[in-house]
Homo-oligomer: A and B are copies of this chain.
């Protein structure tokens, strides 16, 4: 394939191909799409990437995304919000998981972004995550409950289990998101693991 595309097209296809979820075919399709759109529209995309890197950083407190401020020490909108409850801390893997929790409108506490989940196969242990920073926060803040909102998969479960054990001696309630059937789903089509978890986590009616 090399040589068929002029340099700048090939370069863009390669850069696009590095993005998650974009294969060679999609990269090619997007590159040819960008050739067709106006310079203005393509410029907006290029500028949006540049602006993102220039203006967004990670919160020094919870590691959520935060806007870069001139007066040093970037803190995110949630950490600087005085109305949030300091007693409940929600631990998530990534900043985008935080957004998912925020969208429910059910949670009014603070967050801590681990930056991933324990995955021994890929060499990610507690030291590669922001666990140390979490412990420091638990010493400094009046946290009473830690809700572990890691993903309901192998890595997320391992991370949750690790945190439960780590905090066994600390006077903090550690909870985990309920696993079960998605609202509006069909029992018939549920996989065995999910249905198993739903049975395991069954709750008394009218309680």
Binding site for B on A (CB under 8 A): 1, 4-9, 11-12, 14-16, 18-22, 26, 28-35, 39, 41-56, 58, 65-67, 77, 94-96, 99, 102-103
Contacts and interface: CB of A to CB of B under 8 A. Distances in A.
Nearest to A54: B8
A159 B62 CA distance: 58
Given A4-B99, A34-B49, A56 B9 contact: yes
B48 A33 contact: no
Nearest to A6: B67
Given A8-B48, A65-B9, A19 B35 contact: no
Contacts of A35: 52-53, 56, 58, 65, 95
10 contacts: A8-B52, A8-B54, A8-B67, A11-B51, A15-B44, A19-B45, A21-B26, A21-B29, A28-B96, A28-B99
The interface residues of chain A, by DSSP majority, are classed as helix
Given A28-B96, A56-B6, A65-B6, A48 B11 contact: yes
Report how many copies the assembly holds: 2
A78 to B, nearest CB: 10
A132 to B, nearest CB: 19
A9 to B, nearest CB: 6
A53 B34 contact: yes
Contacts of A95: 32, 35
Nearest to A49: B46
Given A21-B26, A65-B9, A31 B52 contact: yes
B15 A55 contact: no
Contact of A51 (B12, B77, B99, B103): B12
Contacts of A103: 1, 4
A33 B19 contact: yes
A47 B20 CA distance: 19
